[in-house]
Amino acid sequence: MQHFSIKTQNLLQKLHRTFKIVYKKCPQLFNMKNLEDIINKLSADRVQELSSRLGARGLTGSKIVSAIVNVCHFHSLINTLSPPELKLLKHIYSGHDGITLGELQKETAIELTDIENSISNLSNLLLVYVIKNRQLLNKRMDKIYCITEIFEFFKVSEISRLKSHMENITEALLQHHETSHDKKEIKYHEVLNFIASNGNLVNIEQLLDSDIKGADKVITEFQQKGMIKIHYVVSEKLNTLLSINQSEVLKVVLSLKKNELKKTSTSSNGFNSLINALHTYDIVSSSGIFLTKQDHFRKIDIKKIADYMMELTDSSGNPIDEETAAFFSMQILNILHVLWLEKDIGTVSLKNISGHIEDPVLLIKQLFSSISELKGRDEHFDNTVRIPGTESLKILLKTAEKLKISGYSQLHAAYTASSILSNISGGTSGSDIEELNRNFHEALTFLTILGLIDIEKGKFLITTQGEELIHLLRGKKKKLESTEKKKCIIINPDFNLMIDEREIDPRDLYVIQAFTDIVNRDTILQCAITKSSVINANKRGMDIEQFIDRLKTYAKNELPQNLEFLLEDWTNQTIRIDISKSILVYTSHSSFIDELSYSSLAKIIKKRIADNYMLIDKESIDDLVKFSKKFDVVLNVFEKND
């Protein structure tokens, strides 16, 4: 973008003001007409129809003119047009003033007769002015001009122009709130508050549906004062979008009380949602979960899971009930392809996450990837915590990273601007923007429950694990600061642990929680090392040595003498049974298996169970057949009732 000196900018502004004065006083110089020049030429029937389309019956004369230049009435008028009329109007007011009918036909691919009829109607509605070609009988040379007053405010916005505005909004919202906020409390008009509380982007229909009185006049006034930016986006219909200008947006957003949390609101979930998911896996794998004939999960199964849930708080700082937490855990496991239904029986397997189960940040990264795939997702596991798309989650997380700490409305407005810039808004209709607002709230709730965003004194801030996840999503690995680990765990002789959560790294706490049962969570987290908790962690494939290492690192006192012995004993007591689908191969000559085991295909032998028998995977059959062609063999594949 080209930058001019302040002197040049002032000169351009003077030229622009001079042009507008001449333009308004002498529109004939530009072949345009004022509304007042042509209003008196309309018949009474035309005036009545125009008044009705403006959404204000009974208007005449100068009141018609005032209504047309009113943002709300103009929006009503334009949305009574047919698709061809709207397409032509957009073309004429997009820098094609003085265009001929022939040129319109060529550029819009609309039939000439349809153009004539549409232009005639637009002219009757005082939206364009037609100058007939008197010298030729061919109407193709008739010229269509904009109306002066309408041309001054009706600037058809392409998405690029809306994005440019949102770039400015983003920059304004990233200013530090303490230096930007006036110390004395300022009260802004409820129209500005409405726009700010809805992400600083509303469709005018949303505003008109509100109970704000006189909104139409206020919008026009604020537009003229430069406080509101209006974008006219034409698709199948006209979408009139309102946004507070970059010079005012931060001040208005920071003055809002609506939607903001109380200073006493807090939320710090850590990795508790993942610990809940692990406990859910343990319960389903040992006790099962089943659907009733009514196609709902049995209440007794849900209660078993709910009883093991750690407390979670939502994006308002309010606790989530245990049943909702249970369904949230099942939903996470289902998205990760760990839990699914086979007919009416819940089935579990950790195979899909076995490589990340000991790293909570990598596990959440895998969750994000699985959300975008949405393969095999089962609605039986859905609950009141809705999960938006991965892009919405990424945008909100990156926005929170940039803002560092912010209130609800500031975060909401910055998210909306970033979504428009990232092309995920879907559209610009009222329903599209409402969906954008829903996505924000759902993403904020989801990220808060996952512990990627915390609440402190009513403000939102990204956590260290949230920052680490952003780096991973960018394909980088954040360099973790090597800070000294504080001794913050007291280990009692009965193997109860007293943990100060504020002093321990969330990753390390996740490992400790995975090997323990939660007894109480208040100011101090109380956990118990039990035989069942250790065996459950062992069943998941988690490394007991990592647990012992964390205890030694954070323990204020010596580990009980028999603790390590018991941990090893409990681990060794765990009976492991692996059931897999393998192919049994028999050969009459054991030398064939010997030859195979010394070849480059030795890896296809899963296990040699006798001289003449071995196990291979089903996928390895082709390799085995090719290898056997080196010998004189009689090959039978899946015969004799196999």
pLDDT (tens digit per residue) in 149-164:
888 888 887 777 888 8
pLDDT tens for each residue of 543-566: 999 999 999 999 999 888 888 888
- The residues with which 203 forms a beta bridge, in sequence order, are 241
Mapped onto helix, strand or coil, the DSSP state of residue 608 is: strand
Q: Give the whole-angstrom CA distance, residue 453 versus residue 84.
A: 48
Q: Give the whole-angstrom CA distance, residue 279 versus residue 337.
A: 16
Q: Give the whole-angstrom CA distance, residue 194 versus residue 206.
A: 10
Given this model, what pLDDT does residue 454 score?
96
Given this model, what pLDDT does residue 595 score?
92
Given this model, what pLDDT does residue 597 score?
92
Given this model, what pLDDT does residue 97 score?
77
Given this model, what pLDDT does residue 220 score?
83
**Least confident span in 26-30, 74-78, 474-478:** 26-30
pLDDT tens for each residue of 572-624: 877 777 667 789 999 999 999 999 999 999 999 999 999 999 999 888 999 99
Given this model, what pLDDT does residue 28 score?
47
Mean pLDDT over 100-119 rounds to 90
Positive/negative CA dihedral, 505, 511, 516, 521: positive
pLDDT tens for each residue of 248-297: 899 899 888 888 899 999 999 999 999 999 999 999 998 899 999 999 99
DSSP 8-state code for residue 458: T
- Provide the pLDDT confidence category of residue 427 given band limits of 50, 70 and 90: low
Beta strands in 163-309 (DSSP E): 202-203, 228-234, 238-244
- Amino acid identity of residue 67, one-letter, is A
Helices (H), 35-158: 35-39, 44-53, 61-68, 71-78, 83-92, 101-108, 112-124, 148-153
**Least confident span in 28-37, 247-256, 435-444, 621-630:** 28-37
> Where is pLDDT greater, at 34 or 582?
582
Given this model, what pLDDT does residue 480 score?
59
Q: Give the whole-angstrom CA distance, residue 600 versus residue 628.
A: 13
What is the CB neighbour count within 10 angstroms for residue 630? 10
> Where is pLDDT greater, at 641 or 260?
260
Given this model, what pLDDT does residue 470 score?
94
Mean pLDDT over 491-517 rounds to 93
Q: What percent of the chain shows pLDDT beyond 90?
A: 45
pTM: 0.80
pLDDT of 13 over the 80 cut = no
pLDDT tens for each residue of 448-485: 999 999 999 999 999 999 999 999 998 877 665 667 78
**Least confident span in 227-241, 263-277, 314-328, 504-518:** 227-241
Mean pLDDT over 474-500 rounds to 83
Given this model, what pLDDT does residue 320 score?
95
Q: Give the whole-angstrom CA distance, residue 391 versus residue 419.
A: 9
Given this model, what pLDDT does residue 7 score?
65
- Provide the pLDDT confidence category of residue 350 given band limits of 50, 70 and 90: very high
- Provide the pLDDT confidence category of residue 2 given band limits of 50, 70 and 90: very low
pLDDT of 29 over the 60 cut = no
- Amino acid identity of residue 508, one-letter, is D
Task: Using the structure block, give the residue that is written with the tokens 């849930």.
Answer: 309
Q: Among 297, 389, 381, 304, which Cα is nearest to 337's?
A: 381
- Asked if 199 and 437 count as a contact pair (C-beta separation under 8 A), the reply is yes
For residue 146, report the phi and psi dihedrals to the nearest 5 degrees.
Answer: -75, 160
Instruction: Classify strands 128-131 and 453-456 as parallel, antiparallel or unpaired.
Output: unpaired
pLDDT of 16 over the 70 cut = no
Q: Give the whole-angstrom CA distance, residue 580 versus residue 564.
A: 33
Q: What percent of the chain shows pLDDT beyond 70?
A: 88
Mapped onto helix, strand or coil, the DSSP state of residue 131 is: strand
Mean pLDDT over 82-88 rounds to 92
Beta strands in 278-352 (DSSP E): 339-342, 345-348
- Amino acid identity of residue 70, one-letter, is N
pLDDT tens for each residue of 302-327: 999 999 999 999 999 999 999 999 99
pLDDT of 178 over the 70 cut = no
The CA angle 485-491-492, to the nearest 5 degrees, is 165
pLDDT of 245 over the 70 cut = yes
Given this model, what pLDDT does residue 514 score?
95
pLDDT of 3 over the 70 cut = no
